[in-house]
Structures are given as structure tokens and as C-alpha cells.
Amino acid sequence: MEDAHSIIVKLGNERESLDKKVIKLEKELAAAKGEILRLRTSMSSSGTVEKVHKNESENENAAVAVKKVRRRKKVESQQEES
């Protein structure tokens, strides 16, 4: 009878310990999810800033770009050779 009681007490203590670990891990998981969301939003917002700067620099380069003109090569047909 005492053995059964001591086993029940040990299991109760182990359960309490595991419940505390569960709570701790759930808090860590929530913090990690929040960090992931924060990083995603900062990446997307920095990506839009980079796109704006890139578009501005492209507009500046477009005004400076010089049109290149090339002459066509004359292609001799096979009939003229014969």
C-alpha cells in the first residue's frame, strides 16, 4: 500500500514538473512566433523601401540612357549567288 502511495506521489510530482515545462515551452514558442512575424514585417517593409530607391535610380538612369542604333547587315540571297 505504501509502495502504491509513493508511486502516486512521484507521478504527481513528475506531472507538476512536466506542466511547468509545458508552460515554459509554450511561452518560448509564442515569443519565437512573435519574433518571426516581426522579422517578416521588417523584411517586407525594407523590401518596399529598396524597391522605391531602385525605381528612383532607374528613373534617373532612364533619362541618361543613350539610344543605340545599329545598321542591318546585308544578307545575300542564294539566288544572287547562282
Stated pTM of the model: 0.49
Task: Give me the phi and psi of 13, to 5 degrees please.
Answer: -65, -40
Residue 47 belongs to some domain of the structure = yes
Give the distance from CA 17 to its chain's centroid. Answer: 36
| Cα–Cα distance for residue pair 4/68, rounded to 1 Å | 93
**What are the tens digits of pLDDT across the range 45-78?**
886 666 656 666 665 555 555 667 777 777 776 6
The total number of structural domains in the chain stands at: 1
- Residue-range definition of the domain harbouring residue 21: 2-62
Residue 71 belongs to some domain of the structure = no
